[in-house]
Amino acid sequence: MAAGRDGVAHQAELRRIEGNVCFKKARLGAAIDCYTEAIALCPDVAVYWMNRALCHFKRKEWAKVEEDSRKALALDHTLVKGHYLLGCALLEKEESALAIKEFEKALILLKSANSTDVMAEEIWQVLAKAKYLDWEKHSTERLWRMQSLKEACESALQEHHFLTGTFEEDSNGSSNECSEHIKLLSEVFSQATIADTPADVPDYLCCQITFEIFRDPVITPSGVTYERATLVEHLHKVGNFDPVTRNPLKEHQLVPNLAIKEAVQAYLKEHSWAYKLN
């Protein structure tokens, strides 16, 4: 019996290897056939489902991406690519809130493994897109509700002044007291929408090279803060010096700027529109 199971597992692995060869050659249909055979032989191996999901991802067959990535995660919930692909499929369905959860799970798994996986940047990009789309969707709803509430409050104020006999018109045909109250009401609602209105991100929260909001800020011995990936690329491709001060600089001298990172996180929590990428 054991020998039989080993033989089936070996056949499934051969199909996976063949599928990988096809995938690298962009023969996605053939790769899908190979992974499907592997799944039929050993349906409890997460990587077979994951590999087929990647093929569907390349083809933008989002329903199939969701189905296969969910099967893979049911077998192994630590698959970073599984959460990433599921998040992408959910984002295509405009389920941004659910997509955000999957992308965040993927980043947490990378962080817990102390991984410098190149996927981290790609995941952050789609996470930012999902968070912006989620803000955009709910911002429209909030603005509509805010305007409806403002109009209801104005009507209630006018009715109150009319019933209490304080709705006295001035020479311009309007009630002084009522007008003042409505003006104050408008100011209150204006203040309530400020945080939800896109504006310029404060300079101290942005990298001096990319001018984009920080994700992983690091500070140099010169006291200048940069986005880590951007500064490391500069050190490798341009030279070992600080881009602003021109002082000598090596990668091991970079220190995480935790204060700025916390400030960015707090800012993004209150201003989700800032997730929009240039």
CATH number of the domain within which 101 lies: 1.25.40.10
Residue 122 within any structural domain of the chain: no
pLDDT at 55: 97
Can you give the residue range of the structural domain that contains 163?
139-196
Residues 89 and 11 in one domain: yes
Interatomic CA distance for residues 22 and 29, integer angstroms? 9
pLDDT tier at 32, thresholds 50, 70, 90: very high
What distance in Å separates the CA atoms of residue 275 and residue 278, rounded to the nearest whole number? Answer: 9
- Residues 5, 87 within the same domain: yes
Q: Which residues, 6 or more positions from 22, have their beta carbon under 8 angstroms from its beta carbon? A: 28, 30, 31, 34
Mean pLDDT rounded to a whole number for the chain: 87
Q: In 3-state terms, what secondary structure has residue 36?
A: helix
Quick one: CA dihedral 40, 26, 92, 118, positive or negative?
positive
Q: What is the pLDDT of residues 243-262, one digit of tens each?
A: 999 999 999 999 999 999 99
- Measure CA of the first residue to CA of the last residue in the chain; give whole Å: 59
The pLDDT tens digits of the residues spanning 167-182 come to: 555 545 445 777 788 7
| 130 found inside a domain | no
**What are the angstrom distances between the C-alpha of 132 and each of 125, 139, 164, 193, 260?**
11, 10, 46, 17, 21
Q: Where residue 269 sits, what CATH number does that domain have?
A: 3.30.40.10
- What pTM was estimated for this model as a whole? 0.69
Residue 182: what pLDDT? 79
- 126 is a domain residue: no
Note whether residue 129 is domain-resident. Answer: no
Length of the chain: 278
Strands (E), the chain: 217-219, 225-227, 255-256
Whether residues 84 and 34 fall in one domain: yes
Strand order in the sheet with 217-219: 225-227, 217-219, 255-256
Residue 15 above 80 pLDDT? Answer: yes
186 plus 242 within the same structural domain: no
Environment class of residue 68 by beta-carbon count within 10 Å: exposed (0-12), middle (13-18) or buried (19+)? buried
51 CB neighbour count, 10 Å cutoff: 23
Pair (178, 219) in one structural domain = no
Query: CB of 51 within 8 A of CB of 71?
Result: no
Which of 147, 169, 196 lies at the terminal end of a domain, its last residue?
196
Contact 11, 41 (CB under 8 A): yes
Summarize the confidence of residues 90-98 as an average pLDDT: 93
Residues 19, 86: one domain? yes
Q: How far apart are the C-alpha atoms of 104 and 261, rounded to whole Å? A: 17
Q: Is residue 92 part of a domain?
A: yes
User: How many Cβ atoms sit within 10 Å of the Cβ of residue 59?
Assistant: 13
Number of domains in the chain: 3
pLDDT, one tens digit per residue, over 185-236 is 888 877 777 767 777 888 999 998 988 889 889 999 999 999 998 999 999 9
103 and 18 in one domain?
yes
Q: What is the pLDDT of residue 175?
A: 53
What is the pLDDT confidence band of residue 277, given thresholds at 50, 70 and 90? low
Instruction: Tell me: do 190 and 210 sit in the same domain.
Output: no
Judgement on whether residues 27 and 70 belong to the same structural domain of the protein: yes
Within a domain: 120:
no
**Torsional class of 207: left (φ above 0), alpha (ψ -120 to 50), beta (otherwise):** beta
For the segment 37-52, what is each residue's pLDDT rounded down to a tens digit?
999 999 999 999 999 9
Residue 3 has pLDDT above 70, yes or no: no
Residue 29 belongs to a domain: yes
